[in-house]
């Protein structure tokens, strides 16, 4: 009996190790330092502008998932130019979403759909953290443009001292629940990149101009 209990415990432990429900921040991607520039070839200065990805974690905090992205350096918010944006495509139990982060923005409609007009007329020197889903792409002239409709705007922060950007995604917005698995995204949520800093051109053409890219190799199982 004791032997059976030990086997059962061991089995349970192994299963738990395969897909553990993590209560602490889980590292889900890593990227080498010094490769920010032109398509992951390092160019001096790009790291100091906060484009050099180092790694990322996910952690449940109450009704939210907190995503944190560590960089080699991070200037204060509104220093990274309006032209660039950080993107992270992830999936919740197989359904893909994307978060787009900018540190400065003047509102405009989506260039492809001429929709998403919620930001028109707004000047936001503090940028935004935007949750997007149901991504698609379409051919516009000679370009294949990616369009991810907005689901909602998130709470987030640029932290120059910690060299991070972080944002909280409400579980409700991504239809996640305890036990849901957060993995790398798929489809057009990651057709520009899985995780990257990229220019606006990335959204306009799948011939992208990414500055620094990474891939989510780890998964995160939402704990109770």
Question: 10 Å Cβ neighbour count for 221?
Answer: 19
- We find the least distance from the C-beta atom of residue 50 to another protein, in angstroms, to be 10
For residues 170 and 99, is the Cβ–Cβ distance under 8 A? no
Q: Residues 85 to 104: which contact another protein by CB under 8 A? A: 103-104
Q: Residues 170 to 209: which contact another protein by CB under 8 A? A: 199-201, 204-205
For residues 87 and 203, is the Cβ–Cβ distance under 8 A? no
Q: Is 201 or 206 the residue whose CB approaches another protein more closely?
A: 201
30 sits near another protein (criterion: CB under 8 A): no
For residues 127 and 102, is the Cβ–Cβ distance under 8 A? yes
Task: Give the list of residues 6+ apart from residue 193 with CB closer than 8 angstroms, or none.
Answer: 87, 89, 202, 208, 210, 213
CA distance 71 to 77: 14
Question: 10 Å Cβ neighbour count for 148?
Answer: 27
* Listed ranges 2-10, 56-64, 78-86, 88-96: which one lies at the site for another protein (CB under 8 A): 78-86
60 sits near another protein (criterion: CB under 8 A): no
Among 7, 15, 106, 113, binds another protein (CB under 8 A): 106
Comparing CA positions, the residue from 176, 118, 106, 185 lying closest to residue 149 is: 118
14 sits near another protein (criterion: CB under 8 A): no
111 sits near another protein (criterion: CB under 8 A): yes
1 sits near another protein (criterion: CB under 8 A): no
List interacting residues with another protein (CB under 8 A).
33-34, 37-38, 42-49, 51, 72-73, 75, 78-84, 103-109, 111, 114, 120-121, 123, 125, 140-141, 143, 199-201, 204-205
């Amino acid at each position: 009996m004791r032997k059976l209990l030990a086997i059962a415990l061991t089995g349970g432990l192994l299963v738990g190790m395969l897909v553990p429900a993590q209560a602490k921040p889980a590292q889900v991607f890593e990227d080498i330092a010094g490769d920010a520039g032109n398509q992951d070839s390092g160019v001096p200065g790009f790291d100091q502008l906060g484009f050099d990805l180092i790694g990322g974690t996910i952690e449940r905090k109450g009704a939210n998932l907190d995503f944190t992205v560590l960089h080699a350096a991070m200037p204060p918010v509104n220093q990274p130019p309006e032209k660039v944006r950080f993107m992270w495509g992830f999936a919740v139990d197989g359904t893909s979403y994307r978060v787009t982060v900018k540190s400065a923005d003047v509102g405009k409609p989506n260039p492809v759909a001429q929709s998403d007009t919620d930001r028109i007329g707004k000047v936001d020197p503090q940028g935004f953290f935007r949750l997007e889903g149901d991504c698609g792409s379409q051919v516009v002239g000679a370009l294949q443009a990616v369009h991810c409709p907005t689901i909602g705007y998130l709470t987030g922060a640029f932290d120059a001292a910690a060299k991070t950007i972080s944002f909280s995604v409400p579980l409700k917005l991504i239809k996640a629940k305890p036990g849901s698995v957060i993995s790398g995204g798929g489809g057009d949520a990651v057709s520009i990149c899985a995780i990257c800093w990229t220019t606006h051109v990335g959204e306009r053409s799948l011939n992208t101009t990414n500055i620094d890219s990474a891939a989510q190799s780890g998964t995160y199982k939402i704990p109770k």
